[in-house]
């Protein structure tokens, strides 16, 4: 009677038991044909123990464990270590933020990965990255309803929409890559300031075309509104970039200069709007559809400025708001919510005042819209290029006024110990 195969003990297979034996081939569970029913630990167990099998069994088990452990190791990603403010060079420190700093010489890949790790920059990155997609989505919807190619009346809106998509995206990138080196940090923020400055031009172009009070249409200010706004972008980008060089030695001067650099174009852009709102509240305006959105925008714009200048709430409790709730995160959120209301207001004015504006003004033209944007873009890129070249050509300019030797050394030593 033929015995059915039985699977009882592991036995070694393979020619000569060479080193090529691997886990799947080295052990098989089988019964030996033509022999009596195996009883307990018979020949196979003896083979394993007496012909060097014990060692092979150990090796095989070890290999097996490694194979099983591999997927777990692949899933376990080691996150970069974070630092406290005294462990990073002064140029990377933020007011009243104590912990959660990334390595000051992170690679580009580390910077991208850090956006998925909780650091003191993570919320800054996402509070401008996600709104970029919201504004792009609104822009896409407008592209399906407006004729941007041939209708010149829509060009100010086109410029405005491009810039409200650009500024949060550049800001998000600046916050992501600002820890690659001191120079990279400065250059990242030069671009951030440049994008904000261009956004102020986008506001001026949209306001000059759709928001201007009726009594100011065709006035000297209306005719020169965009030209002055281009000059403002040059002033704003230059001053804000320059303020970074004063940051370490004269932090208060730097803060005042940077705040002033952004307040000037904001105040200028909003002069016609504020005048129109004053007229509306005194009962002298005809198009009121956009008034509430304009008011909400102004409210959030003031909140944005206040948070930027005050460093609240982290100034009241340093270290408490390192990851969530510090002023820069709130500043980003207020800026984006304000921009949302501004966009709604511009869209409301654009449609409700269409016929009146077409009848009473020459209407938007290429040089005053897309041409102005192209010119301002080139000029601002030139300014950023000049500041970046100046920074890269002058050794230690990016870290001047601080004792980098000790802090950088400490950081490196610390990271090597990890």
CB of 318 to Zn ion, least distance (A): 19
For the chain, how long is the longest CA-to-CA vector?
Answer: 113
Question: Is 85 or 171 the residue whose CB approaches Zn ion more closely?
Answer: 171
| Residue at shortest CB range from Zn ion | 171
Q: In angstroms, what is the minimal distance from the CB of 345 to Zn ion? A: 24
- Pick 171 or 327: Cβ nearer Zn ion: 171
Element (H or E) spanning 53, and its range?
helix 53-75
**Cβ proximity of 174 and 121 under 8 Å:** no
The set of long-range contacts for 35-40, using a CB threshold of 8 Å and a minimum separation of 24, is 38/6, 38/8, 38/9
Residue in 204, 194, 199 with CA at minimum distance from that of residue 164: 199
Binding residues, as ranges, are 175, 328, 332
Q: Which pair of tokens denotes residue 159? A: 């410029």
Pair of tokens at residue 175: 């916050």
Of 174, 326, 190, the closest CA to residue 245 belongs to: 190
**Nearest CB to Zn ion, comparing residues 171 and 200:** 171
Token duo for residue 407: 């802090």
Q: In angstroms, what is the C-alpha Rg of the chain?
A: 33
Pick the closest to residue 211 from 263, 139, 270, 265 (CA basis): 270
Nearer to Zn ion by Cβ, of 291 and 336: the residue is: 336
CB of 150 to Zn ion, least distance (A): 37
Q: Closer to Zn ion at the Cβ: 304 or 398?
A: 304
Binding site for Zn ion (CB under 5 A): 171
> What is the closest distance, in whole angstroms, from the C-beta atom of residue 372 to Zn ion in the complex?
26
Instruction: Report whether 275 contacts 242 (CB < 8 A).
Output: no
Minimum distance of Zn ion from residue 335's CB (angstroms): 8
CA distance 115 to 62: 38
Residues 6+ apart with CB under 8 A from 301: 266, 270, 334, 338
Q: How far is the CB of 328 from Zn ion (least distance, A)?
A: 6
Residue with tokens 């709102």: 277
Residue 324 carries which DSSP code?
S
Report the alpha-carbon distance of residue 288 to residue 347 in Å, rounded.
13
Closest CB to Zn ion among residues 339, 408: 339
The three-class DSSP label of residue 77 is coil
Residue whose CB is less far from Zn ion, 171 or 176 = 171
Measured in whole angstroms, how far is the alpha carbon of residue 146 from the centre of its chain?
A: 30
Q: Which residues are annotated as a binding site for Zn(2+)?
A: 175, 328, 332
Please report how close the Cβ of residue 409 comes to Zn ion at its closest, in angstroms.
Answer: 29
């Amino acid at each position: 009677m033929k015995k059915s195969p039985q699977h009882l003990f592991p036995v070694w297979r393979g020619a000569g038991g060479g080193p090529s034996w691997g886990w799947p081939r080295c052990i098989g569970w089988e019964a030996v044909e033509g022999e009596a029913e195996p009883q307990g630990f018979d020949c196979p167990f003896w083979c394993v123990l007496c012909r060097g099998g014990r060692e092979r069994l150990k090796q095989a088990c070890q290999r097996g464990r490694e194979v099983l452990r591999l997927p777990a190791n692949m899933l376990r990603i080691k996150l970069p270590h974070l630092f406290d403010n005294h462990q990073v060079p002064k140029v990377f420190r933020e007011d009243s933020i104590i912990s959660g700093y990334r390595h000051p010489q992170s690679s580009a890949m580390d910077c991208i990965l850090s956006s998925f790790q909780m650091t003191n920059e993570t919320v800054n990155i996402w509070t401008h990255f996600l709104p970029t997609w919201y504004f792009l989505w609104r822009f896409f919807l407008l592209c399906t309803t407006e004729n941007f190619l041939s209708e010149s009346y829509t060009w100010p809106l086109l410029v405005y929409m491009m810039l409200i998509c650009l500024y949060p995206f550049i800001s998000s990138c600046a916050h992501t890559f600002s820890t690659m080196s001191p120079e990279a940090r400065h250059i990242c923020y030069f671009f951030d300031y440049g994008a904000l400055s261009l956004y102020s031009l986008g506001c001026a172009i949209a306001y000059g075309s759709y928001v201007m009070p009726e009594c100011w249409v065709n006035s000297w200010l209306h005719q020169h509104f965009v030209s002055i706004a281009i000059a403002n972008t040059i002033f704003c980008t230059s001053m804000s970039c320059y303020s970074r060089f004063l940051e370490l030695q004269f932090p208060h001067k730097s803060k005042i200069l940077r705040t002033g650099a952004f307040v000037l174009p904001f105040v200028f852009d909003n002069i016609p709007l504020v005048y129109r709102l004053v007229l509306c509240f005194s009962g002298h305006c005809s198009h009121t559809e956009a008034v509430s959105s304009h008011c909400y925008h102004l409210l959030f714009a003031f909140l944005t400025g206040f948070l930027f200048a005050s460093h609240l709430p982290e100034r009241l409790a340093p270290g408490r708001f390192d990851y969530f709730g510090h002023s820069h995160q709130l500043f980003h959120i207020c800026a984006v919510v304000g921009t949302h209301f501004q966009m709604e207001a511009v869209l409301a004015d654009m449609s409700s005042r269409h016929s009146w504006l077409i009848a009473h003004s020459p209407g938007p033209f290429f040089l005053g819209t897309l041409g102005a944007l192209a010119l301002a873009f080139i000029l601002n890129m030139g300014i950023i290029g000049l500041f970046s070249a100046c920074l890269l050509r002058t050794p230690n300019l990016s870290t001047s006024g601080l004792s980098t030797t000790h802090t950088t050394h400490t950081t490196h030593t610390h990271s090597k110990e990890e």
